[in-house]
């Protein structure tokens, strides 16, 4: 059994769900994959927990409960820096769960750069640094002989990259279409019932699936980030965020949805990569799809992705939890797969 040290940046919804899940699945990972996950440190913006050798297991187990009052915990170090958390021992995996900032990429960019440079693998849920600086981060990973995985940033529990990069190996992908943001799909589904946009958004906020500042989702940025990362990884494109033609769902009305229904269609916010001849385009667009389209029936908070290939036909994957636990599960999957060489 191989010991794998984990250092977590970000102790919010996803970070905490990850701590809990890694503890729950520790025995399974040891028995099935021969890896013994050990949470070495976990940081937020004020400091971090640093497990001492003697209290490793206990530290991992009681961290979720300790987070609300970290200063009461014996392993809490105010102002702990990532460099101290990574330490000098055998490198493991940085689990990056800080907020997504698509203007600066920080703090994830600095954390991933430091960890990769010190020979740590990275599993990321945050998108900012990946969207802004993937080529540099990827080159750093390669030059240090480590992996940079980001399922958590590309629709979380829905296996988008795994299918595209592993299952479609050697196929040419000419088109990718995805419903990649559960919140916007949920709002559109509710609006089909006649509820106006503002009320459907408020309802989504009230039940905790939309952020208090929902603009990343409803203005299409979240979908833009995901289709960009997926297209660049699977179709070998080199798009940047500025290349994405983007619209959100603010201007969609219940009348638009009703009319589409009358025509036998459904309105979806799609992230799309299209290759036609030598032209390659990437966009986020409010689109009417008819019954024959693989994404027609994907409603509520569900997500899905369709790959159009030359040799394998059209392949759709649908479902997958979108909540913090589903995202934590995607991070854990990436960690396990790093050590399985997948």
Ligand X SMILES: NC(=O)c1ccc[n+]([C@@H]2O[C@H](COP(=O)([O-])OP(=O)(O)OC[C@H]3O[C@@H](n4cnc5c(N)ncnc54)[C@H](OP(=O)(O)O)[C@@H]3O)[C@@H](O)[C@H]2O)c1
Least separation in angstroms between residue 320's CB and ligand X is: 11
Residue 179 vs 266, nearer CB to ligand X: 179
Residue 100 vs 160, nearer CB to ligand X: 100
Least separation in angstroms between residue 275's CB and ligand X is: 27
Chain residues binding ligand X by CB under 6 A are: 9-15, 43-46, 97-100, 107, 125-127, 152, 156, 323-324, 327
Residue 13 vs 144, nearer CB to ligand X: 13
> Where do we find the tokens 């993937």?
134
List the strands of the sheet with 93-96, edge to edge. Answer: 76-78, 47-50, 35-43, 2-9, 93-96, 121-124, 148-149
* Distance (Å) of CA 99 to CA 10, 24, 40, 103, 108: 8, 25, 21, 12, 8
Closest CA to 190 of 264, 253, 251: 253
Residue nearest to ligand X (CB): 12
Count other Cβ atoms within 10 Å, centred on residue 236.
Answer: 10
Closest CA to 335 of 123, 96, 78: 123
Residue 150 vs 273, nearer CB to ligand X: 150
Omega within 30 of 0 (cis) for the link into 107: yes
Least separation in angstroms between residue 198's CB and ligand X is: 23
What tokens does 180 get? 């990649």
Residue 13 vs 205, nearer CB to ligand X: 13
Least separation in angstroms between residue 84's CB and ligand X is: 13
Least separation in angstroms between residue 189's CB and ligand X is: 19
């Amino acid at each position: 059994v191989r010991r794998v040290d984990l250092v977590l940046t970000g102790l919010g919804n996803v970070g905490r769900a990850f701590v809990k899940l890694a503890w729950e699945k520790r025995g399974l990972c040891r028995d099935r994959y021969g890896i013994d996950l050990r949470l070495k440190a976990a940081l937020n913006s004020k400091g971090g927990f640093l497990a001492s050798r003697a209290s490793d297991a206990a530290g991992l187990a009681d961290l979720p409960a300790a987070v609300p009052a970290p200063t009461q915990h014996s392993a809490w170090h105010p102002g702990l820096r990532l460099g101290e958390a990574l330490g000098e021992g055998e490198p493991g995996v940085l689990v990056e769960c800080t907020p997504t900032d698509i203007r600066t990429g920080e703090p994830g960019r600095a954390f991933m750069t430091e960890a990769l440079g010190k020979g740590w693998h990275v599993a990321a849920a945050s998108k900012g640094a990946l969207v802004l600086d993937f080529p540099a981060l990827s080159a750093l990973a390669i030059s240090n002989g480590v992996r940079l995985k980001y399922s958590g940033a590309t629709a979380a529990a829905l296996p988008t990259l795994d299918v595209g990069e592993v299952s479609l190996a050697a196929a040419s992908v000419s088109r990718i279409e995805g419903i990649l943001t559960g919140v916007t799909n949920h709002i559109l589904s509710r609006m089909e019932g006649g509820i106006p946009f503002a009320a459907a958004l408020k309802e989504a906020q009230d039940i905790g699936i939309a952020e208090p500042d929902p603009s990343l989702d409803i203005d299409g940025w979240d979908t833009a980030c995901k289709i960009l990362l997926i297209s660049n990884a699977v179709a070998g494109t080199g798009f940047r965020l500025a290349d994405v033609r983007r619209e959100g769902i603010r201007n969609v009305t219940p009348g638009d949805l009703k009319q589409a229904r009358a025509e036998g269609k459904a309105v979806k916010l799609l992230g799309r990569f299209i290759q036609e001849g030598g032209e390659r385009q990437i966009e986020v667009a409010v689109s009417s799809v008819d019954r024959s389209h693989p994404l027609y029936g994907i409603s509520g908070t569900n997500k899905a992705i369709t790959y159009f290939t030359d040799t394998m036909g059209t392949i759709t994957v649908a479902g997958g939890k979108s909540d913090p636990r589903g995202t934590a599960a995607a991070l854990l999957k990436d960690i396990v797969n790093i050590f399985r060489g997948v």
